[in-house]
Structure 1
Amino acid sequence: MTEGPSYGFDTLQIHAGARPDPATGARQTPIYQTTAYVFRDAEHAAALFNLQEVGYIYSRLTNPTVAVLQERVATLEGGVGAVCCSSGHAAQIMALFPLMAPGRNIVVSTRLYGGSITQFSQTIKRFGWSAKFVDFDDLDAIAAAIDDDTRAVFCESIANPGGYITDLDAVAKVADKAGLPLIVDNTSATPYLCRPIDHGATLVVHSMTKYLTGNGTVTGGVVVDSGKFDWSASDKFPSLSAPEPAYHGLKFHETFGPLAFTFHGIAIGLRDLGMTLNPQAAHYTLMGIETLSLRMQRHVENANRIASWLENHPAVDQVTYAGLPSSPYNDRVARICPNGAGGLFTVALKSGYEGCVKLVDSLEIFSHVANLGDTRSLVIHSASTTHRQLTEEQQIAAGAAPNVVRISIGIEDADDLIADLDQALAKASA
């Protein structure tokens, strides 16, 4: 199909990037389970390897099933292109790879998924990179943390685990003033609830494992390029603006313009890092995205009702859901996430750490797993699992204090979920 402004989200989530298979007429995107592709002739092969022609070479780089997924997610996010990879964590490294070098740093929000905090505070040091953690409600602190070696600003649209909504417009202005790209993890929101590029983001990353796939079957990640950043405006991003030795001095930004980051992600990132998404995983994610808007509407509807009920429960100390009128971030919902505050939030129990453990062990419908964004309702005690490697101070800053459980509300019957929580809370506070 030809995408255009006349098509709505519900249409694009089904059709964007997909066309009937030219060989068979198959309506659903086939799983192209192949390693390599036959070249027409030697000249065709040379043109592909020289980046003079777009096509399929080897499935570490490009694959027809994955290509449909890349186009679909880019279209839904309002970007010009996307690069899919093996997981959300892989997507974060893929996003940083063209921007960073030894001695460079990124400024990141303190409100991040625990695995991301560990990746940025520990793992990236092995590349010679570093991260500065800042409260993103303090715009002056973000600006003060940026120095001559900073190469990106990173945050989550709806932060995991607490459901905190970042003021993307304000943060984007800080990044733009510094001449830096803003990278936004949009996993918890999805493009149905929030489109970070519309608020000034340069790049958007997802763990497609979560809401985009929505059924807990496969892992996957994606980096979406807005195509709006001028990579040649300074000498900070030589991977994109300077001659690339591996391609005879080709300059990605000069050659590919708005698609420079996307082409670099495939031709350099996937080629050398190899964090490839397999075609079967891409197929499952495409199937999931077809119902994204329907699922997100139900996630939000259930989350609003259940969070309101929990807020008034005698065993509960606090609920962090931004959709609640009592939330300090409620005013950001209409502006940043106009279709709702998502299905993720935390609950602080008066019975503390032990009460959280009892709650998790007593739930029957809720699944105790290290995942979110599933059709099923999920629960986890972050302090003893996903955020276990952090200090208690870091856990509290990330919204994962010892007395807190993270809840990912599914699309089941809300009355059943409330009844399950009610019986588990009774045991947790006994």
Structure 2
Amino acid sequence: MSETRRTAAAGFATRQVHAGTDWAEASPRALPIFLTAGFRFDDVDAAADHFRTGAGFGYTRTGNPTIDALERRLADLEGGAEAVFVASGQAAVSVALLALVGAGDHIVCANQVYEGTRGLLLDNLARLGIETTFVADVADPDAWRAARRPTTRAFFAESISNARNDVLDIAAISAVADEHGIPLVVDNTFATPYLLRPIEHGAAVVVHSASKFLAGQGAALGGVVVDDGRFDAGRSGSLFPHLVAASRSGGPSVAERHGGRARIGYLRETVAPRLGPSASPLNAFLVAQGVETLSLRVREQSRSALTIARWLAERPEVARVDYAGLPTHPHHPIARRYLPRGYGSVFQATLAGGEPAARRLIETLEVFTHMTHLGDVRSLVLHPASTSHAHLDETGREAVGVAPGTVRFSIGIEDADDLVADLERGLRAASLARPEVAVEVLG
């Protein structure tokens, strides 16, 4: 029925809902925002086909054209077969792991990870009967091999760690995982696919906090899971029975329906929609807009970060700079192999004056923004010991390279000279926080 016939004799309340909802098809050049909870079906057969096969769009929690376009773009950029976009980076890690592990299973994880990930593993997944072993030396394949158990179902690590800048030897660690048919899941948030594509080096699954570099503007939350599409049911099916067993109704298994894409198919159909970390189409649009300038931003941010890290390393107020782009970093040789386009733009520096100096530096900075975020076009600063790592004891903080005087920097797109000038003012102020300097000034 046409809009005119449907609304001609209708009352006001009916017309305010239905008038103007017939529109001509258009082909916008920019990605359109399909900001709707659901989609109209042409007829009963079309609705039944959607629920039977998943084809088309019915409800945004299970699929949306804006989100679908972003997923295809991110899968392409990461060199993967398929991607699923969810509400946050934490959601991406959660659904990626829950697509692989269940009660009684085991995960091997790098000790250098985002503290939200550590909390997920030790607090949330542990309550579900899922155990985790942490590997201190992420570059040592034998350490990963020794940590594996017969119940291990996933290896997890960050390509560039938050925030000590340990760099994962993806090829070496994925080879250990592959010996046993186990997927290596890599959080590639810090590197982005512009600097590094873990799937090309053997990783099976990649996750991102899309809120960071992919979006870039700090306005939207989102996360993504990208799968390599190479699940081998014959080799790994016994480890993942939920992927190879018949459905509850006796129908074909996930692997039979999706083949090598069984992991991501199960995540899309069963894990993400049922746990419900649904992404907003508006956020998908904002992330997609950010991705269009990803290479430009990350290239400049990495260049500025290297300049600033080198400058900080020469300052007497700074005891240590943890940046993989510096020859002094223990993982610099690995970084040179995996990161030829740049070493990223997030790193940490530890001030000689300890916590008082770090506090004075942060509170003096004017160009840097003090906030818990990274990957923004704006340069950001944070004191990990009192924020992101505050719940760890001193030994735990030392193990991940966080000292009382440690400051984390995320370098934006501002002029590097302006950032250096801002840091110089901050370091001068920080030097006054050292007791011996304060005594000299008072004298």
- TM tier, shorter chain? over 0.9
State the SS of the aligned residue for 2:397: helix
The answer to whether the aligner puts 1:106 opposite 2:107 as a matched pair is yes
CA distance in structure 1 between the partners assigned to 2:122 and 2:254 by the alignment: 30
The equivalent position to 2:243 in structure 1, one of 240, 259, 262, is 240
Partner of 1:172: 174
Count of residue pairs brought into register by the alignment: 408
CA distance in structure 1 between the partners assigned to 2:404 and 2:233 by the alignment: 43
The answer to whether the 8 Å contact 2:187/2:207 transfers is yes
CA distance in structure 2 between the partners assigned to 1:125 and 1:42 by the alignment: 44
CA distance in structure 2 between the partners assigned to 1:124 and 1:355 by the alignment: 38
**Runs of 4+ with deviation above 3 angstroms:** none
Partner of 1:75: 76
* Distance 1:367-1:171 versus aligned 2 partners, 3 A rule: same
Q: Let me know the Cα RMSD of the aligned residues.
A: 1.5
CA distance in structure 1 between the partners assigned to 2:180 and 2:305 by the alignment: 37
Partner of 2:58: 57
* Distance 1:231-1:204 versus aligned 2 partners, 3 A rule: farther
For residue 243 of structure 2, what is the amino acid of its counterpart?
Answer: L
The answer to whether the aligner puts 1:151 opposite 2:179 as a matched pair is no
Partner of 2:17: none
* Residue 125 of structure 1: how far off its partner (Å): 1.5
* Distance 1:363-1:22 versus aligned 2 partners, 3 A rule: farther
The answer to whether the 8 Å contact 1:74/1:81 transfers is yes
The answer to whether the 8 Å contact 1:321/1:327 transfers is yes
CA distance in structure 1 between the partners assigned to 2:404 and 2:24 by the alignment: 55
Consecutive unaligned residues in structure 2, runs of 5 or more: 1-22, 433-443
For residue 323 of structure 1, what is the amino acid of its counterpart?
Answer: G
The answer to whether the 8 Å contact 1:214/1:373 transfers is yes
For residue 69 of structure 1, what is the amino acid of its counterpart?
Answer: L
Partner of 1:333: 335
* Residue 269 of structure 1: how far off its partner (Å): 1.5
CA distance in structure 1 between the partners assigned to 2:401 and 2:24 by the alignment: 50
CA distance in structure 2 between the partners assigned to 1:273 and 1:231 by the alignment: 25
Partner of 1:35: 37
CA distance in structure 1 between the partners assigned to 2:400 and 2:25 by the alignment: 50
Partner of 1:266: 268
The answer to whether the 8 Å contact 1:157/1:188 transfers is yes
Partner of 1:6: none
Partner of 1:388: 390
CA distance in structure 1 between the partners assigned to 2:281 and 2:308 by the alignment: 37
Compute the TM-score of the two structures, normalised by the length of structure 2: 0.89
For residue 111 of structure 1, what is the amino acid of its counterpart?
Answer: Q
The answer to whether the 8 Å contact 2:231/2:261 transfers is no
The answer to whether the aligner puts 1:257 opposite 2:264 as a matched pair is no
The answer to whether the 8 Å contact 1:376/1:410 transfers is yes
* Residue 263 of structure 1: how far off its partner (Å): 2.0
Q: Percent identity?
A: 43
Which range moves more in the overlay, 296-305 or 348-357?
348-357
Q: Which has the larger radius of gyration?
A: 2
Partner of 1:213: 215
Which range moves more in the overlay, 401-410 or 183-192?
401-410
The answer to whether the 8 Å contact 1:83/1:224 transfers is yes
Compute the TM-score of the two structures, normalised by the length of structure 1: 0.92
The answer to whether the 8 Å contact 2:353/2:405 transfers is yes
For residue 77 of structure 1, what is the amino acid of its counterpart?
Answer: E
Render the CA deviation track for 1:27-69: whole Å, top value 9, x for unaligned: 1111101111122322222222122x52112111101100001
Consecutive unaligned residues in structure 1, runs of 5 or more: 1-20
Render the CA deviation track for 1:315-352: whole Å, top value 9, x for unaligned: 00011111112222121223212211100111011001
The answer to whether the 8 Å contact 2:39/2:57 transfers is yes
For residue 150 of structure 1, what is the amino acid of its counterpart?
Answer: T
* Residue 22 of structure 1: how far off its partner (Å): 9.2
CA distance in structure 2 between the partners assigned to 1:400 and 1:243 by the alignment: 48
CA distance in structure 1 between the partners assigned to 2:245 and 2:239 by the alignment: 10
CA distance in structure 1 between the partners assigned to 2:99 and 2:115 by the alignment: 24
The answer to whether the 8 Å contact 2:171/2:202 transfers is yes
For residue 197 of structure 1, what is the amino acid of its counterpart?
Answer: I
Partner of 2:125: 124
Partner of 1:289: 291
The answer to whether the 8 Å contact 2:231/2:263 transfers is no
CA distance in structure 2 between the partners assigned to 1:339 and 1:22 by the alignment: 45
The answer to whether the 8 Å contact 2:104/2:131 transfers is yes
* Residue 248 of structure 1: how far off its partner (Å): 4.3
* Distance 1:32-1:248 versus aligned 2 partners, 3 A rule: farther
For residue 100 of structure 1, what is the amino acid of its counterpart?
Answer: V
* Residue 169 of structure 1: how far off its partner (Å): 1.0
Partner of 1:429: 431
For residue 192 of structure 1, what is the amino acid of its counterpart?
Answer: Y
CA distance in structure 1 between the partners assigned to 2:118 and 2:35 by the alignment: 35
CA distance in structure 2 between the partners assigned to 1:49 and 1:97 by the alignment: 23
* Distance 1:244-1:393 versus aligned 2 partners, 3 A rule: farther
